[in-house]
Amino acid sequence: MTQLNVPLDVSLSQGNGSSPRAARSRFSTSRLSELPRQQQTPFPAALVPWKSAVQNSADACLLIDSEARVRALSPASRSLLGLPRDIEAVMPRFLDAGLHFVDFSSAGQRLAPAELARLPVLRALESGTLERGLARVVIDKVHRTLDMVAAPLHRPEEPEPSGAMVFFQDIDR
């Protein structure tokens, strides 16, 4: 599996129009195969009600926690994104899950850190607002364009999102 060495210490504009803030290093990447199981955090209680809904969904969707770790995914998303079967056991950060985001040029160059930080998934966690956008991903050596919608999940007593539910639609098919 290839490694994306992308430190995300970039500035993000919040979806609510307030001043930019720095993306936390929690979104930085490492190799999926190098994530030791003993360093994994327990499943967040705030996301428990969403886990089975995502895992049983016919839609391509996934559930990520506030640290951008993949916590649950539907069979449709695993198929669409070409993700490994053990992804929920390993719980990689979203950018470590083996997805290769590229730009919309004909060459399909890898996205720079500032561009990765603008992905709807990460922006929803940072801004706490619904985020939507197109992203180009290399799946099985084919460039696919995905419509991504990321909805932050909030608990009433906490101002920051406890995670996000992300939906994917392949618009090339």
pLDDT at position 40 is 59
Residues 6+ apart with CB under 8 A from 152: 124, 125, 127, 128, 129, 130, 161, 163, 164
Place of tokens 């993000």: 12
All structural domains of the chain, each given as residue ranges with its CATH number in brackets, are: 20-30+46-170 (3.30.450.20)
Q: Which of 21, 2, 16 is nearest to 117 (CA)?
A: 21
Contact at 8 Å (CB) between 4 and 98? Answer: no
How much is the pLDDT for 39?
54
Token pair of 63, please? Answer: 């559930």
Query: How far is residue 143 CA from its own chain's centroid?
Result: 18
Instruction: Return the bridge partners of 70, or none.
Output: 64
Distance from C-alpha of 3 to C-alpha of 34, rounded to nearest angstrom: 10
Provide the pLDDT for residue 164: 97
- pTM, entire model: 0.76
| Contact in structure between 82 and 94 (CB atoms under 8 Å) | no
Report residue 158 CA to chain centroid gap. 21
Neighbouring C-beta atoms of residue 2, cutoff 10 Å: 9
Task: Report, as ranges of residue numbers, the positions in the chain whose pLDDT lies below 50.
Answer: 1-38
Q: Residue 124 carries which side chain, given as an amino acid letter? A: A
Q: What is the pLDDT of residues 145-159, one digit of tens each?
A: 999 999 999 988 888
What is the distance between the alpha carbons of residues 87 and 18, in angstroms, rounded to a whole number?
A: 35
